Amino acid sequence: MSNQTADIAIIGGGSAGLELARMASIAGQKVVLFEQGDANGRHVFQRIPLLVGKIIGNRRFVDAAQSVPQTSAGNRQLPVLTGRGLGGSSRVNGNVAYAGSTLRYSHVFDPLGLDFTDILNDMNKDTTAPRPHSWNDALSDKFLTAAQTLGTPRVDDPDQHGALNGGSILHVNTKRGLRHNHLENFRANANSNNIEIIRAQASTITFDGNRATGVAYQTGGTTQHILAGEVILCAGAIGSPLLLMRSGVGEAQMLASAGLPAVHNLPQVGQHLKDHANLRLPFSCDGHNTLNQKTRGASALWEGLKFIAGSKDSILRGPGASAGVNVATKGDIIDDSYRIQLVHFTQDRSKVSQSGIVFERQQKASLGIYALWPKSEGAVRITPQGAQIDTGFLSNPADVQTTLAGMKHARAIMSEMGVGPDPQTDIDEELMRNGVYSGYHLIGSNRMSMDAASGVVGPDFAVHGLSDLSVCDASVLPDHLSSHSYLSVIAMARMFGQIRGWL
Ligand SMILES: Cc1cc2nc3c(=O)[nH]c(=O)nc-3n(C[C@H](O)[C@H](O)[C@H](O)COP(=O)(O)OP(=O)(O)OC[C@H]3O[C@@H](n4cnc5c(N)ncnc54)[C@H](O)[C@@H]3O)c2cc1C
């Protein structure tokens, strides 16, 4: 056992962990940062937006778990993917960049007494999170024009917050066509003199009574121990609740039956897990080549050459989706809203955790649909056999109704575009229940709340009932804030930094 000391031990070098380490190091704090994943942070596939789809089947970059059977989603066990290595999930994400509307933040955070207005405004001016448009083509124009004809205005998202009701070519987190997430920002701006990175999985948080004292980890077959003034857990929506439980913080009976020590009975750990349950409706689009065609043979070579030449319309400059609309049928930030995204390919999604995204060959694309503010909740649990992830997809009837409304709207858009929905789209509810997959926007499993009866951390990010231990990552989001979760997580990290005076 070594007894090295640090001001702060951060567990998890993902989106939130890197942003906190950057801010804390600049503010003069001595940081030890634990990251379980590989050192390779600049794999070429990780920098070129479209190619990330290939590495999400690679265990060097991604942890893939299977959910428990989803009783409201065809009893299927669905892949749950999270990124690993410096950058975490931002290293492999789709790169679509919407922080979310200030109205939605007010709805979620006013009861907790937090005001994100300045943080969101600063993020807009901020060159550390650039958000230019993705590539565009005739099919995207057709999609946005059809949506506009049906009542969803085309907006350019000038405030970058993500329009509550409007459509645009996607904004992506890129600089000069290359992905530019907070790993780049961390490398460019952190004070590396104040950060030590330990490439190891933290096995437990250590405690003296109710006070967190540091982190234990395994290296070379021995247990090492870092003492720290405080511990900040940033291991993500799956990793953070699991590490709390393995360290003895969670529902006492569940911990006892899994043979884990009891440090602090906190039943809300792992509860309220949420995700965007995402459905895709494929359609034929004769006359338009999609990524199914453009990523093969001479077309692929041409797109590569355009990318090297800096052409803005190379398909390599964006993810496989190119445009999206948020539809707030009642102008609502709370209920009934859904998102429809033009996805320029079709794939067998059940294979993604083994092979990454593999495009089909037909001249087809798809519309992706999900409820923006889902109410369905699952949980992360621990059992004698190990971790159990329940995404709870479609378990709340309100989400079923919202998704069905989104499917109906998507079909109307297809019809307006003059493209053909497949005949299988006749059986909506069955298709939906057997078709939804993870949107990879996992949040809420250590949610922020005013008390321990309804959540895990307080508005100051400190774990209820413990001292010198905080959580700051997607797990503390009390609810979805945007159509996508990465920049909302960065907004949370900035709020942590603002509270600590690090900004
Ligand atoms: C495939 C995919 C596509 C996505 N697409 C988009 C998108 O297009 N737009 C968008 O906005 N969002 C997207 N997201 C979601 C977004 O990237 C995440 O919400 C966000 O990155 C979560 O940040 P985080 O800090 O909570 O966790 P992460 O970024 O996942 O970081 C957690 C880190 O902790 C490390 N860790 C875990 N346990 C331990 C331990 N015990 N010891 C040491 N290290 C540990 C992990 O290795 C990881 O690096 C996507 C996510 C995925 C997986």
The predicted-structure confidence for 371-409, as pLDDT tens digits, reads as follows 999 999 999 999 999 999 999 999 999 999 999 999 999
Which atom of ligand 1 is closest in space to residue 443's alpha carbon?
A: 19
Contact (CB, 8 A) for 92 and 352: no
pLDDT at 422: 62
Alpha-carbon distance 43 to 188, whole Å?
17
pLDDT at 183: 86
Across 112-116, 136-140, 347-351, least confident range: 347-351
Kindly report, residue by residue over 262-318, the tens digit of the pLDDT: 999 999 999 999 999 999 999 999 889 999 999 999 999 999 999 999 998 899 999
Report residue 249's pLDDT band, with 50, 70 and 90 as the boundaries.
very high
Which atom of ligand 1 is closest in space to residue 95's alpha carbon?
A: 8
Which segments of 175-246 does DSSP mark as H helices, in order? 182-189, 236-246
pLDDT at 486 over 60: yes
Q: Two tokens at 171? A: 């904004």
pLDDT at 425: 56
Alpha-carbon distance 273 to 94, whole Å?
21
Which atom of ligand 1 is closest in space to residue 85's alpha carbon?
A: 49
Question: What's the chain's average pLDDT?
Answer: 92
Kindly report, residue by residue over 147-167, the tens digit of the pLDDT: 999 999 998 775 666 778 899
Contact (CB, 8 A) for 312 and 87: no
Alpha-carbon distance 40 to 60, whole Å?
9
Let me know the angle formed at the C-alpha of 394 by 378 and 441, rounded to the nearest 5 degrees: 60
pLDDT at 330 over 80: no
Which atom of ligand 1 is closest in space to residue 12's alpha carbon?
A: 34
pLDDT at 265: 98
Which segments of 340-485 does DSSP mark as H helices, in order? 352-355, 397-417, 428-435
pLDDT at 331 over 80: no
More confident residue, 244 or 362: 244
Mutate to test the pocket of ligand 1, among 217, 273, 480, 486 (most ligand atoms within 8 A of CB): 486
Mutate to test the pocket of ligand 1, among 19, 89, 245 (most ligand atoms within 8 A of CB): 89
Kindly report, residue by residue over 91-101, the tens digit of the pLDDT: 999 999 999 98
Report residue 184's pLDDT band, with 50, 70 and 90 as the boundaries.
confident
Across the range 120-149, mean pLDDT stands at 89
pLDDT at 498: 97
420 C-alpha to center of ligand 1: Å? Answer: 36
Alpha-carbon distance 298 to 278, whole Å?
32
Alpha-carbon distance 39 to 468, whole Å?
29
Residues with CB under 6 A from ligand 1: 11-17, 34-37, 56, 81-84, 88-90, 92-96, 201-202, 234-237, 239, 243, 440-441, 473-474, 484-487, 489
84 C-alpha to center of ligand 1: Å? Answer: 7
At residue 329, what is the residue type?
T
Across the range 361-380, mean pLDDT stands at 96
Instruction: Quote the crossing angle between the two packed helices 397-417 and 138-149, to the nearest 10°.
Output: 110
464 C-alpha to center of ligand 1: Å? Answer: 24
Longest dimension (CA), the chain: 68
- List the residue whose alpha carbon is closest to atom 3 of ligand 1: 93
Pairing state between β 222-233 and 4-11: parallel
348 C-alpha to center of ligand 1: Å? Answer: 23
- List the residue whose alpha carbon is closest to atom 2 of ligand 1: 93
Ramachandran quadrant class, 154 (left: phi over 0; alpha: psi -120 to 50; beta: rest): beta
